[in-house]
Amino acid sequence: MKIANKKHVPEAGTFNVFSLGAISFTWAHFLGLISLWFLPLTIFMYVVGYGSEVRNVPETEQSNK
């Protein structure tokens, strides 16, 4: 089954699940709710959240691929 062509690629926006989780972990660090041992996980979540954003690609670039 072929999926109908869309006019644009879906856009996720600024925040996704990982970036919101990283913000929550950051506040938990500030408030002293979790140990500093979770700091590498917090940084990892920021990196994954930034890298996994869906970017809107113009239609001209899509047709070249």
d(CA 57, CA 11): 9
d(CA 23, CA 42): 8
Which 8-state DSSP code applies to residue 60?
A: H
Q: Compute the mean pLDDT over every residue in the chain, rounded to the nearest whole number.
A: 78
CA angle 40, 46, 47 (to 5 degrees): 90
Q: Enter the tokens of residue 43.
A: 């940084």
Over range 14-35, report the average pLDDT. 91
Domain residue extents for the chain: 17-54
Q: Which amino acid appears at position 54 of this protein?
A: V
d(CA 28, CA 1): 46
Please state which of the ranges 12-21, 36-45, 50-59 shows the lowest mean pLDDT: 50-59
Amino acid 58: pLDDT: 66
